[in-house]
Amino acid sequence: MSEINIICDKREKPSQVIFELEELSSKNLQLNISSEVMSVGDYQLSSDVVIERKTIYDLEQSIIDGRIFTQIKNLMNVPKPGIIVEGSLDILKNHTRINRKALIGLITSLGLTYKIPVFFTRNQKETAELLYVVSKKEQLGSTYDKKLRYEKSKMTDKERQLFIVESFPDIGPKLSKSILKEFKTLKNLANADIKQLQEVSKLGPKKAKRLRELFEREYRV
């Protein structure tokens, strides 16, 4: 009987994904699932493939608190990284805490700029099926070393600052550099009024107003 091995992060253990994966094990193909604290990603599907799983709400929160940028940096050390986004963007239409276009822009950048494939699933069952198919494709017919691990790589303060500014609505890499060059620190940026923001080249009235509104908007649970 053939078998495939999947390592999952311990934080994923309570999720329905693990149960759905176990259900996919059969007489002809045994699925072995082990859990441990992973330094990078949530699921290791082969010696090359590491997947980060995020629900739409988790993706939104990770952008707000900055976790996503460190996770992207770490995934770039993996030969075959990937991110699963679970759920529909439609659920954020009336409840999003960040600009929906900014969220879509980040997802686009993951594939085009950082070369990290993004897979969309509707629910945890589909996520499990995707993990199963990828692990089966990767492992069968090749040697699988489940001891292989990937270490985190730390972002420099400069990279972290740029990542944070780039996550704001309609702010690209070039403009983020101009903004930081002008204000020097994130604190100065957050304290700047609309008139001061508009002093940055190509940061017009609309972008300045949107940015100011974002800084002043109250966080709501």
The domain that holds 114 is classified in CATH as 3.40.50.10130
User: What pLDDT, on a 0 to 100 scale, did the predictor assign at position 146?
Assistant: 46
Same domain? For 6 and 73 the reply is: yes
CA atoms of 81 and 20, how far apart (whole Å): 22
Any bridge partners for residue 189, and if so which?
Answer: none
User: Taking all residues of the chain, what is their mean pLDDT, rounded to a whole number?
Assistant: 85
User: What pLDDT, on a 0 to 100 scale, did the predictor assign at position 93?
Assistant: 61
User: In this structure, how many other beta carbons lie within 10 angstroms of the beta carbon of residue 61?
Assistant: 15
User: What pLDDT, on a 0 to 100 scale, did the predictor assign at position 215?
Assistant: 85
Same domain? For 133 and 202 the reply is: no
Tens of pLDDT, residue by residue over 7-33, are 999 999 888 999 999 998 887 888 999
3-state percent helix, strand, coil for the chain, nearest multiple of 5: 50, 15, 35
Same domain? For 161 and 135 the reply is: no
Same domain? For 126 and 161 the reply is: no
Same domain? For 29 and 80 the reply is: yes
User: Pairing state of beta strands 49-55 and 80-86?
Assistant: parallel
Same domain? For 210 and 120 the reply is: no
Question: CA 207: distance to chain centroid?
Answer: 25
- How many CA atoms are closer than 13 Å to the CA of 166, on its beta-carbon side? 20
For residue 149, is it within any domain?
A: no
User: What pLDDT, on a 0 to 100 scale, did the predictor assign at position 2?
Assistant: 82
Choosing from 112, 139, 166, the residue where a domain stops is: 139
Same domain? For 130 and 166 the reply is: no
3-state secondary structure of 166: helix
Count of structural domains within the chain: 2
Ranges of the chain whose pLDDT falls below 50: 142-148
**Neighbour order of strands in the sheet with 2-9:** 29-36, 2-9, 43-44, 49-55, 80-86, 118-121
User: What pLDDT, on a 0 to 100 scale, did the predictor assign at position 107?
Assistant: 85
User: What pLDDT, on a 0 to 100 scale, did the predictor assign at position 12?
Assistant: 92
For 105, the enclosing helix (H) or strand (E) is helix 100-112
Q: What range does the domain containing 34 cover?
A: 2-139
Is residue 195 packed enough to be buried (19+ CB in 10 Å), middle (13-18) or exposed (0-12)? exposed
Rounded (10°) angle between helices 100-112 and 56-65: 90
Same domain? For 104 and 184 the reply is: no
